[in-house]
Amino acid sequence: MITASYHKYNLDFKRPSGTSRGVLTTKETWFVIIENDGRRGVGECGLLRGLSIDDRPDYEKKLKWVCTNIQIGIEDLLSKLVEFPSIQFGLEMAFKSLERTDAFELFPSNFTQGTDSIPINGLIWMGDKRFMKTQIIEKIEAGFNCIKLKIGAIDFLTELELLDAIRKEFSRETIELRVDANGAFSVSDALEKLKRLSTFDLHSIEQPIKQGQWQDMARLCEITPLPIALDEELIGVFGVTKKKELIQTIRPQYIILKPSLIGGFKGSNEWIDMAKTLNVDWWITSALESNVGLNAIAQYTYTKQNKMPQGLGTGGLYTNNFQSPLRVKNGTLLYDNTTNWKFDL
């Protein structure tokens, strides 16, 4: 008989990490464990407080309902959880895990065999100029050739100085630079800021203005001197029709897929299919999951064979993450099969 349980787990940051939603010291996550005939499936519901559309008071109540009704099966469960994308993803993960001999090898590939890796960007956390510069040097020395800076938290001129300093030392051919504004620019000053940023040969900017302003974002995407990637804009957009309407209206240069925030593998596949039909490029990003969620996202990402650097975490942010085979080497994420999983709640 199939049974399920859920467990809350608090991940502790090694050092406070600055985001557009303030400084984080802990990150709450939830695990769904499915058991059937002596087998166990593990899934992570990567709730991100303040950003996830399913950050609501009845979240735990919904998890309890899922565990009580687990016997109705994955398809029926997913159809009843449209407004809870992180739980959808946790369930997809757990059911796929249950099917496997190795509960953590969800998508067998050259990646999980350890013979191929995924190029990723090095993420620079928000902070003062000195702290951000230190991180940039560390990423370059670690072999990253794609770096992503979160901007919008400190003075814009200081951020321009940082980018200028990088570009004076490293050309576009040496280091690809991405920036993420997390909606920090106002509609009135966004274009001027994009013009200033474009002088530094950037790859793209994520979410220059706040989500939900489709017409304003569409105008920006039409005249921008710098490719725009939609990120938060995708959160809370349910159904294929609405997704198509968003991309057709805004016509972005890129979309960014965070499976925990947009309905897991199924939700990501819908966005990718839509983007392809409208000639919009994309990449996949993790969203502060533990190594369990990161592992699922990485394995899924590899199957898509997108050659751009992906926005996958490194698993090294937390003091109490779970031991896993995921490793970062020379700006890539790889699977080291000499290391075993250690998943203890």
Looking at the structure, do residues 145 and 40 belong to the same domain, yes or no? no
Does residue 41 lie within any of the structural domains? yes
Q: Which of 150, 195, 244, 266 is catalytic?
A: 150
For residues 46 and 260, is the Cβ–Cβ distance under 8 A? yes
Q: 129 vs 65, which has greater pLDDT?
A: 65
Kindly report the average pLDDT of the chain as a whole number. Answer: 94
CA dihedral for 7, 237, 247, 22, sign (positive or negative): negative
58: which strand partners? none
pLDDT above 90 for 169: no
Q: How far is CA 115 from CA 86, 177, 309, in A?
A: 30, 28, 18
Looking at the structure, do residues 201 and 293 belong to the same domain, yes or no? yes
Tokens read off for 84 = 């809870």
Return d(Cα 231, Cα 125) in angstroms, integer.
17
27: which strand partners? 11
Does residue 194 lie within any of the structural domains? yes
**Among the ranges given (157-166, 239-248, 263-272), the one the predictor scored with the smallest mean pLDDT:** 157-166
Give the pairing of strands 176-180 and 204-206.
Answer: parallel
Q: What integer pLDDT is reported at residue 18 of this predicted model?
A: 63
Q: What integer pLDDT is reported at residue 87 of this predicted model?
A: 98
Does residue 108 lie within any of the structural domains? no
Looking at the structure, do residues 135 and 15 belong to the same domain, yes or no? no
Which tens digits make up the pLDDT trace of 195-242?
A: 999 999 999 999 999 999 999 999 999 999 999 999 999 999 999 999
From 61, 95, 58, 64, select the one nearest 78 (Cα to Cα).
95
Tokens read off for 161 = 């100085």
Task: Provide the number of structural domains found in the chain.
Answer: 2
Looking at the structure, do residues 84 and 223 belong to the same domain, yes or no? no
What does pTM read for this prediction? 0.95
266: which strand partners? none
Looking at the structure, do residues 181 and 209 belong to the same domain, yes or no? yes
Residue ranges of alpha helices (H) inside 35-116 are: 59-68, 74-79, 85-99
Q: Active site includes 242? A: no
Q: Is 78 exposed, middle or buried (0-12, 13-18, 19+ CB in 10 A)?
A: buried
CATH of the domain at 14: 3.30.390.10
Looking at the structure, do residues 17 and 47 belong to the same domain, yes or no? yes
Does residue 21 lie within any of the structural domains? yes
Looking at the structure, do residues 195 and 289 belong to the same domain, yes or no? yes
Looking at the structure, do residues 194 and 134 belong to the same domain, yes or no? yes
Looking at the structure, do residues 175 and 291 belong to the same domain, yes or no? yes
**193: Cα separation from own chain's centroid:** 25
Q: Which of 27, 62, 96, 258 is catalytic?
A: 258
For residues 81 and 238, is the Cβ–Cβ distance under 8 A? no
Does residue 344 lie within any of the structural domains? no
Looking at the structure, do residues 59 and 124 belong to the same domain, yes or no? no
Looking at the structure, do residues 150 and 286 belong to the same domain, yes or no? yes
CATH of the domain at 133: 3.20.20.120
Q: Which amino acid is at 342?
A: K
Return d(Cα 196, Cα 190) in angstroms, integer.
10
Return d(Cα 98, Cα 91) in angstroms, integer.
10
Own/partner long-range contacts of 299-305 (Cβ < 8 Å, ≥24 apart): 299/105, 299/106, 299/107, 299/109, 299/111, 299/112, 300/106, 300/107, 300/259, 300/265, 300/268, 301/118, 302/107, 302/109, 302/110, 302/111, 302/116, 302/118, 303/107, 303/109, 304/272
Residue 190, domain extent: 118-335
For residues 124 and 149, is the Cβ–Cβ distance under 8 A? yes
pLDDT above 80 for 190: yes
Looking at the structure, do residues 61 and 134 belong to the same domain, yes or no? no
Does residue 107 lie within any of the structural domains? no
For residues 298 and 333, is the Cβ–Cβ distance under 8 A? yes
Does residue 25 lie within any of the structural domains? yes
pLDDT category, 339, cuts 50, 70, 90? very high
Does residue 106 lie within any of the structural domains? no
Q: Active site includes 258? A: yes
pLDDT category, 43, cuts 50, 70, 90? very high
